[in-house]
Amino acid sequence: MALGFAGSRDFPDTLGRALTRHILGQFPAQPLVSGLCREGADAWCLAEALGLRIVPDDGTLWLGPGASSEPVWYASTMRIRLAANTPCITYEVHAYPYRGDLGTAGGPARNVQMATAESAARWFLLWDGKSNGTRHMLATLLSGGARVEVYTPAAPTAPELRVATFQRADAPPLRIVYHGPKEAARVVTALSGDAPATLDVYGRPWLDVAKHLKGDGWTLTGAPEPWTR
pTM above 0.75, yes or no: no
Assess whether 144 and 171 both reside in one domain.
no
Q: How many residues are there in the chain?
A: 229
Helix (H/G/I), strand (E/B), else coil: 81? strand
Q: pLDDT tens digits for 132-188?
A: 888 888 888 888 888 888 888 877 776 678 889 999 998 889 989 888 777 778 887
Query: Is 205 within the bounds of a domain?
Result: yes
Residue 41: inside a domain, yes or no? yes
Model pLDDT for residues 117-136, shown as the tens digit of each residue: 888 888 999 888 778 888 88
Domain that includes residue 167, residue range = 161-224
Q: How many CA atoms lie within 13 A of 141 on its CB side?
A: 32
Mean pLDDT over all residues of the chain? 75
Express the helix, strand and coil content of the chain in percent, nearest 5 each. Answer: 30, 30, 40
pLDDT at 211 over 90: yes
Write out pLDDT tens, residues 13-29. 888 888 888 888 888 77
Q: Which amino acid is at 132?
A: N
Counting the structural domains of the chain, the total is: 2
Q: Are residues 194 and 96 in the same domain?
A: no
Task: Please report whether residue 156 resides in a domain.
Answer: no
For residue 105, being part of any structural domain is answered with yes
Which amino acid makes up residue 150? V
pLDDT-based confidence at residue 85 (cuts at 50, 70, 90) = very low
CA distance 100 to 107: 8
Examine residue 147 and state whether it is found in any structural domain, yes or no. yes
Residue 7 lies in a domain: yes
